[in-house]
Structure 1
Amino acid sequence: MSFCAPRGRTSMDDSEIRDLVTGWAEAVHAGDLPRVLADHRDDIVMFDVPPPHVGVRGIDAYAQTWPPFFQWQRGGASFEIVELDVTAGEDVAFVWALLNCGTPEALAATPGRYLRLTLGLTREDGRWVVAHEHHSFADVS
Structure 2
Amino acid sequence: MTDDHDSIRALITRWAAAVHAGDLDTVLADHADDIVMFDVPPPNEGVRGIDAYSATWPPFFQWQANGALFEIESLDVTAGTDVAYAFALLRCGTPEELSRDPANRLRLTLGLRKEHGRWVVAHEHHSFPDVSQ
Normalised by the length of structure 2, the TM-score is: 0.98
Runs of 4+ more than 4 Å apart: none
- Deviation of residue 140 (structure 1)? 2.6
- Deviation of residue 118 (structure 1)? 0.2
Q: Which residue of structure 2 lines up, in the alignment, with residue 28 of structure 1?
A: 19
- Deviation of residue 112 (structure 1)? 1.1
Alignment match of 1:83 (pick from 64, 74, 86): 74
- How many residues of Structure 1 are paired with residues of Structure 2 in the alignment? 132
Identical counterparts, % of pairs: 71
Q: Which residue of structure 2 lines up, in the alignment, with residue 135 of structure 1?
A: 126
Query: 5+ unaligned residues in a row in structure 2: which ranges?
Result: none
The one-letter code matched in structure 2 to 1:118 is: T
The one-letter code matched in structure 1 to 2:35 is: I
- Deviation of residue 102 (structure 1)? 0.1
* Residues 115-126 of structure 1 aligned to structure 2 (within 5 Å): 115-126=106-117
Summarize deviations over 1:16-74 as a string: whole Å, max 9, x none: 00000000000000000000000000000000000001000000000000000000000
- For residues 124 and 112 of structure 1, what CA distance do their matches in structure 2 show? 37
Query: 5+ unaligned residues in a row in structure 1: which ranges?
Result: 1-9
* Residues 7-46 of structure 1 aligned to structure 2 (within 5 Å): 10-46=1-37
- Deviation of residue 111 (structure 1)? 1.3
The alignment partner of 2:112 has SS state of strand
The alignment partner of 1:76 has SS state of coil
- Whether the 8 Å CA contact 1:33–1:63 is kept in 2: the answer is yes
Aligned alpha-carbon RMSD (Å) = 0.5
Q: Which residue of structure 2 lines up, in the alignment, with residue 112 of structure 1?
A: 103
Summarize deviations over 1:85-128 as a string: whole Å, max 9, x none: 00000000000000000000100101111000000000011110
- For residues 35 and 50 of structure 1, what CA distance do their matches in structure 2 show? 22
